[in-house]
Chains A and B, each alone.
Chain A
Amino acid sequence: MLFKLTIVATVLAASASMAIAADQPIIGLITKTETNPFFVKMKEGAQEMATAKGAKLLSASGKSDGDNAGQVTAIENMIAAGAKTILITPSNSKAIVPAIKKARDQGIMVITLDSPTDPQSAVDALFATDNYKAGVLIGEYAKAAMKGKPAKIAMLDLLPGHPVGITRHNGFLSGFGAPGLDGKTMTLGKTADVVCMADSWGDQAKAQTVMENCLQKNPEINLVYTINEPAAAGAYKALKAAGKEKGVMIVSIDGGCTGIADVKAGMIAATSQQYPLKMAALGVAAGIDFAKTGKKASGYVDTGVTLITDKKQETVDSKDTNYGMGACWGKKS
């Protein structure tokens, strides 16, 4: 029985090998998870570009944020599938480096989307938002909107040691006027205005708990920085439960469609919008270019960030939520 099955398998394998088209460039996209809408958008952008330009897109992801082993496995499977370009949003900026090196040693072009590797030079190119600038924009906005009123700030951060979380955090404080925090600082800055700081893991439920505890610690909080809009939504729920939603300003980063709706509804004062769909589309285009010409992309490509608010401040450039809705996570840009 087993012997027969093996023979059938061999025959099937041989016949299948004739049916595959050979000259379509294969491009792999590896995201952190399958479920986060940010990555769903990213995949959409990649698929659209691949379909339009006649490339085959393979996708895979880790199981959860931080699942490095899953991403390493995905890289190996992409290589086995014959991908010549791999686009990846690394879950662990350092731990993924050896696996990326193995792929590049075989002549595969590797581009990181959204988050850098550590060191950034471990890949051919990085297509991402300038996270520091995204922070600076909402920091400057908050400074202007506070109109000189003394600030008591709660900061809902990402997770311990994550570079994207740290640069956004420091960008915000820098935009708000704190000196000496640049985009390369890799520790969380803290100023006298900051009365509460905690990790939200970018998760609405966790952020709500964190915000409740921050309010317990200091009921005077009047400005909330959040790592992303789910965290902002959690913070808003906590504020609302405490009857403080009117007097407290929330600023955030991401610019997802749900987040922009929350800005429109007045729950979030302003958000820095980034463009995952564009990151992925650019990545696929670079992969197709590489397949045709052998020319690799290189360096850092800023995919742009826009401040979105309906309560415009004269001193800070911004667009309104109608623009934000049209471009949420890169529909158009």
Chain B
Amino acid sequence: MNARLLNRLPPVATLGPVVALLAACLFFASQSDRFFSGQNFSLILQQVMVVGVIAIGQTLIILTAGIDLSCGMAMALGTIVMTKFAVDHGMNPYLAILCGVLVCTLIGAINGALVTKIRLPAFIVTLGTMNIAFAVMQIYSQAQTVSNLPDAMMFFGNTFHLGQTTITYGTVLMLGLYILTWLFLRETAPGRHLYAVGNNPESARLTGIATNKVLLGVYMAAGMFYGIAALLSVARMGVGDPQGGTTDNLDSITAVVLGGTSLFGGRGTVFGTLIGVLIVGVFRNGLTLMGVPSVYQVLVTGILVILAVATDQLTHKKG
């Protein structure tokens, strides 16, 4: 590949996901008359909101060149804690939600502490906490689904009207969290520090950045996002599901990678992750509308992931 083409790759890495998403939308709009409507896009947003919010946390961690396999199980444990506290122990629902979010944040803190203090690889640490969270959830819930939840817990599953379109509050929350995280990463010092740590932790440390504090903060913040995702899951499903979250870790990593964030750390945006999440959601929705089995969505996702990582690898080598 010649140098001029390589020079043009960074914009490809940023624009690629957007083009892929638009191309998918064009294709499905040509195949099903039900695809191109505000209502259907609102539906897709609503379907991706849980993985979408998990993927914000995953993005922060991957930006520091880490990875989090525990996110789905942390989220599922969060749903069990908040629903069981409210239903079985009669706790005030808002307090129960807070407890669920705190449990997820605690798992994040444990991940962060093990990564920074004992310098264990994030992959191994979160593999461990993933299993621990799963086991604790099964033991505590006795593998039983928690239902009959208080209405207050379902708020983010409720809808409001925007013209003809009904939109869930959860979707608005997700988009709000993306904007806030985007502003945080772009406009604040801690946000820039996070990129610096991801790029080169040693030189970041030498410029006076407290790298361990940044990392611990990132894992805890990610945990908090999983807790919020737990609340969204409860609101969307109407139950606390002890079998939930099984594939959310890989789904969130898929979204981050599809969104062009580098697994080597230091490069990427949450906006890209949102595009990545939407690509998966659009394929699942569009193929179902067309009457094509969902296994084709898995096929397409696999191909796109490899394309995304290949692009990242090529641009990385250059830099």
Instruction: List, in ascending order, chain B residues with CB within 8 A of A161's CB.
Output: 142-144
Contacting pair B34 A82 (CB below 8 A): yes
Contacting pair B239 A95 (CB below 8 A): yes
Instruction: List, in ascending order, chain A residues with CB within 8 A of B239's CB.
Output: 68, 94-95, 97-98
In the complex, whether B288 has a CB less than 8 A from a CB of chain A is yes
In the complex, whether B31 has a CB less than 8 A from a CB of chain A is yes
Quick one: which of A2, A9, A72, A78 contacts B29, CB cutoff 8 A? Answer: A9
Instruction: List, in ascending order, chain B residues with CB within 8 A of A57's CB.
Output: 291
Q: Which of A245-284 contact B (CB under 8 A)?
A: none
Report B31-43 CB contacts with A as 1/0, cut-off 8 Å: 1111110011001
A73 to chain B, nearest CB (A): 5
In the complex, whether B295 has a CB less than 8 A from a CB of chain A is yes
On chain B, the number of residues with a Cβ less than 8 Å from chain A's Cβ atoms is 43
Contacting pair B36 A2 (CB below 8 A): no
Contacting pair B246 A64 (CB below 8 A): yes
Instruction: List, in ascending order, chain B residues with CB within 8 A of A20's CB.
Output: 32-33
| A332-B243 Cα distance, complex, nearest whole Å | 36
A257 to chain B, nearest CB (A): 21
In the complex, whether A244 has a CB less than 8 A from a CB of chain B is no
Contacting pair A60 B244 (CB below 8 A): no
Quick one: which of A19, A60, A94 contacts B294, CB cutoff 8 A? Answer: A60
Q: Which of B13-39 contact A (CB under 8 A)?
A: 18, 22, 25-26, 29-36, 39
Contacting pair B237 A95 (CB below 8 A): yes
Given contacts A77-B285, A77-B288, contact A94 B145 (CB under 8 A): yes
Contacting pair B47 A34 (CB below 8 A): no
Contacting pair B43 A80 (CB below 8 A): yes
| A81-B285 Cα distance, complex, nearest whole Å | 9
In the complex, whether B241 has a CB less than 8 A from a CB of chain A is yes
A26 to chain B, nearest CB (A): 9
A78 to chain B, nearest CB (A): 7
| A13-B29 Cα distance, complex, nearest whole Å | 5
Given contacts A5-B22, A13-B30, contact A80 B289 (CB under 8 A): yes
In the complex, whether B147 has a CB less than 8 A from a CB of chain A is yes
Instruction: List, in ascending order, chain A residues with CB within 8 A of B18's CB.
Output: 2
Report A1-36 CB contacts with B as 1/0, cut-off 8 Å: 010011011101101111110000000000000100
Instruction: List, in ascending order, chain B residues with CB within 8 A of A285's CB.
Output: none
| A10-B39 Cα distance, complex, nearest whole Å | 15
Given contacts A9-B36, A78-B288, contact A95 B294 (CB under 8 A): no
| A17-B293 Cα distance, complex, nearest whole Å | 21
Given contacts A13-B29, A76-B47, A82-B34, contact A95 B145 (CB under 8 A): yes
Contacting pair B29 A73 (CB below 8 A): no
In the complex, whether A188 has a CB less than 8 A from a CB of chain B is no
| A68-B79 Cα distance, complex, nearest whole Å | 14
A270 to chain B, nearest CB (A): 30
Instruction: List, in ascending order, chain A residues with CB within 8 A of B46's CB.
Output: 76
Instruction: List, in ascending order, chain A residues with CB within 8 A of B293's CB.
Output: 34, 59-61
Given contacts A63-B247, A73-B284, contact A80 B40 (CB under 8 A): yes
Quick one: which of A9, A16, A34, A95 contacts B33, CB cutoff 8 A? Answer: A16
Contacting pair B244 A98 (CB below 8 A): no
Report B238-282 CB contacts with A as 1/0, cut-off 8 Å: 110101101100000000000000000000000000000000000
In the complex, whether B70 has a CB less than 8 A from a CB of chain A is no
A206 to chain B, nearest CB (A): 16
| A282-B138 Cα distance, complex, nearest whole Å | 36
A242 to chain B, nearest CB (A): 30
What residue in chain B is nearest A69 (Cβ atoms)?
Answer: B244
Contacting pair B142 A81 (CB below 8 A): no
Candidate in A17, A57, A61, A69 with the most chain B CB atoms within 10 angstroms: A69
B213 to chain A, nearest CB (A): 35
Contacting pair A2 B34 (CB below 8 A): no
What residue in chain A is nearest B293 (Cβ atoms)?
Answer: A59
Contacting pair A72 B31 (CB below 8 A): no
| A58-B138 Cα distance, complex, nearest whole Å | 34
In the complex, whether B196 has a CB less than 8 A from a CB of chain A is no
Contacting pair B237 A73 (CB below 8 A): no
Instruction: List, in ascending order, chain A residues with CB within 8 A of B298's CB.
Output: 63
What residue in chain A is nearest B40 (Cβ atoms)?
Answer: A80
Q: Which of B182-215 contact A (CB under 8 A)?
A: none
Contacting pair B237 A68 (CB below 8 A): yes
| A58-B291 Cα distance, complex, nearest whole Å | 5
| A232-B22 Cα distance, complex, nearest whole Å | 49
In the complex, whether B63 has a CB less than 8 A from a CB of chain A is no
| A213-B288 Cα distance, complex, nearest whole Å | 43
B148 to chain A, nearest CB (A): 10
Q: Which 9 A-B pairs have the closest CB atoms?
A: A98-B238, A17-B33, A13-B36, A66-B243, A77-B288, A13-B29, A94-B145, A160-B143, A161-B143
Complex A-B: 8 CB contacts under 8 Å: A13-B29, A16-B29, A59-B293, A64-B247, A68-B243, A69-B241, A72-B237, A81-B289
**Could you list 20 further interchain pairs (A-B, Cβ under 8 angstroms) beyond the known A2-B22, A68-B239, A77-B285?**
A10-B36, A13-B29, A15-B30, A16-B31, A19-B33, A34-B293, A56-B291, A59-B294, A60-B288, A63-B247, A64-B247, A67-B243, A67-B246, A76-B43, A81-B288, A91-B243, A92-B243, A95-B147, A95-B244, A98-B238
